[in-house]
A and B are shown apart, each in its own frame.
Chain A
Amino acid sequence: MTDPKAYLSHLELGEKDETFLDSNELIINMGPQHPATHGVLRVVLKLDGEKVLGAECVIGYLHRGVEKIAENRTYTMFNPYVDRMDYVAAVSNGLGYCEAVEKLLNIEAPARAKYIRVILTELNRLTSHQLWLGTHALDIGAMTPLFYTFRDREEILKIFEKYCGARLTTHAFRIGGCQYETYDGFERDVKKFIDEVPPKIDEYEELLTTNRIWVERTQGVGKISAADCKALGVTGPVLRASGVKWDLRKAQPYAAYSDFDFEIPTGVNGDTYDRYLVRMEEMRQSLRIIRQAVERIPEGPIMAKVPKVIKPPVGEIYHSIEAPKGELGYFIVSDGSTQPYRVRVRPPSFVNLQALDLMVRGQLVADVIAVIGTLDIVLGEVDR
């Protein structure tokens, strides 16, 4: 078991150089505005020539005080705010929150609503992974996969738009179920989509997986072991690529996932290439789940009997789901009134970003960008 203290050696930026031999070290700043930091992230790098000795992330440029806002809104009013955190995978955020409040109210969404939720969430997982792939490949230099993935993402966004009116911040679910019934042709659209997409995913793989330059840029870069992942609390595809076969959809199933048959891809080495493979396979498994769900959507109501004014009894709850980025958790404290007393969002990107320092030590400068890309962070979620 590695020593946790080893992860925490910070940069000691205030200290002066001990001897003149240390004067090779250079501290540079990948500033908040940078083409490759996926949002406003500032990384201060301590370099020895080309080698990275340490990285410190300065975050908070996108902090909007979501948790404080929650204390001043009713449970239903807070629902749209939740999408804005991880704006790429807004549907998952909504699912986590609605399920947490439903647990607090001790009600369960009807079966049909659960299936619709699963379909939309898995579509959103695909969207998020496709965006990740496009931007990650762009950072490493391959310009074309970005356009291919965005073209395919369009189809999913069209389905979202037809369902709930919004493409990105969907606010698709309500506490107790779904508000909108699936539109006419929803099943047809989804089936068409899942028939057309597998060759497109193969296309992305063809461009990248066996491309020697891609392999050289990603293999061995940003390695993190399973023990380090568990100690640092890293979850999601990063954890799975390090070899730990753990997915909240199987370990603690929620929202009808126990009805479906799918696999959890894992990697071996825990480097960037494995994370790439894990996410590609997750895309395929998502398609598998969607196919099973669409064929078996049960009939029935889409909304459970929820009181008009939502006033959960006094208590606390923690509920987490497997968002595309990792374990997204909501800790809600209720004091019996219509407004939550405290809402705490456990953001996967925030905790994953902590691992950046460990992952880039000893790598070259050009790898820092690859590692930031492979962690798949969204600053909206890191900063809330």
Chain B
Amino acid sequence: MAWDSTTVARFKKQYGSGLRESSTYLGQNYMVVDSTIANEVLQILHDEEAFDYCVDLTAVHYPQREKQFDLLWILYSFERNERLRIKTMIADGESFPSSTSIWATTDWLEREVFDMFGIKFDGHPDLKRILLPEDWQGHPLRKDYGIIQQDEQWVKINLGIESGQ
């Protein structure tokens, strides 16, 4: 379902086709923007539209698509009591400018996205793995990362057996 509001109108005017989609699903509004303008959109949302709280930043992996990763910001505005999702698509290996200069929350959130998906963020002060050990190979939440395969690898190396299943 399409969604229109003053915010959307303003972005449409400014970016034209860069704003791919703005809809609402089950009562939740979201906008899909081009990865080139996404950073600016976030900056404008923070500075001018009073979305001062970045609730979450996450990613979804669609290996079949050309632009494999969906990067998502969930934003909330205290004064308007409004929640908004911003989605953008980036390709595998592409990096994205960091939002830590806009919201400080995204410090650890970006580290987790890097840890789990391998998406690098330019300008992040200290992009290293957060939940997994430093020397871990691979990025688990990608769809091509098999847990069974990882487990078998580990038990082969460390326990010398064929499979732990």
Contact residues of A with B, CB < 8 Å?
Answer: 4-5, 7-10, 59-60, 63, 65, 67-68, 72, 103-104, 106, 230-233, 244, 246, 251-252, 315-318, 320, 327, 329, 331, 333, 341-342, 344, 346, 350-351, 353-354, 383-384
Contact = CB atoms under 8 A, between A and B. Distances in A.
21 contacts: A7-B107, A8-B107, A8-B125, A9-B125, A68-B145, A103-B26, A106-B26, A233-B105, A244-B78, A252-B83, A316-B85, A317-B28, A318-B28, A318-B74, A329-B55, A342-B60, A346-B55, A346-B74, A350-B108, A351-B109, A354-B104
Nearest to A10: B126
B102 A68 contact: no
Nearest to A314: B25
Contacts of B140: 65, 68
Contacts of B26: 103-104, 106, 315, 317
Contact of B102 (A4, A9, A232): A4
A60 B131 contact: yes
Nearest to B52: A230
Interface string B129-141: 1111100000011
B45 to A, nearest CB: 14
A344 B60 CA distance: 9
B165 to A, nearest CB: 14
Interface string B69-106: 00010100010010101000000000000001111110
B107 A346 contact: no
A322 to B, nearest CB: 13
Nearest to A1: B52
Given A65-B140, A315-B26, A59 B130 contact: yes
A350 B109 CA distance: 9
A104 B28 CA distance: 11
A60 B132 contact: yes
A228 to B, nearest CB: 8
B154 to A, nearest CB: 13
A233 B25 contact: no
A68 B141 contact: yes
Interface in B30-63: 30, 52-56, 58, 60-61
B137 to A, nearest CB: 15
A4 B55 contact: no
A7 B104 contact: yes
Given A232-B105, A344-B56, 6 more contacts: A7-B104, A8-B126, A9-B125, A60-B133, A230-B52, A233-B104
B2 interface: no
B147 interface: yes
A329 B74 contact: yes
A331 B72 contact: yes
B104 A327 contact: no
Contacts of B145: 68
B54 A233 contact: yes
Given A5-B101, A8-B107, A383 B131 contact: yes
Contacts of A341: 60
B60 A4 contact: no
